[in-house]
Amino acid sequence: MNNIKNIRNGSLYFNEGNRKVERVLGPINTQRVWTKRHKQPARDTQIKELRLAEKNEVNNYLGIFPPLPTLPTLPKLPPLPKAV
């Protein structure tokens, strides 16, 4: 990002400096914003290190993973023999 006006508070951005997704909390000045990760303290980040996070990065940050493929069903087995 080059301009503080393009940064939206509350949105998720990918920080190229630490290679992690962070939430923008608000501006500090024209060059820096407050960012935060889950269970981490807020920190100042230069806006030139931020880019809007892609969908897969957001899903990974939020813990949303694609569903696992369903396995084919096996045919039923015949019943076990009974003791006489």
- What does the chain come to in residues? 84
- For each of the chain's 84 residues, which pLDDT tens digit applies? 678 888 999 999 999 999 999 999 999 999 999 999 988 899 999 999 999 999 999 998 888 877 778 888 888 989 999 887
Distance CA 49, CA 43 (A): 13
Instruction: Calculate Rg over the CA atoms of the chain.
Output: 23
Full set of structural domains in the chain with CATH: 4-59 (2.30.30.140)
pLDDT of residue 68: 73
pLDDT of residue 2: 72
Residue 63 CB contacts under 8 Å (≥ 6 apart), including other chains = none
pLDDT of residue 73: 86
pLDDT of residue 44: 94
Q: Do 37 and 45 contact (CB within 8 A), yes or no?
A: no
pLDDT of residue 20: 94
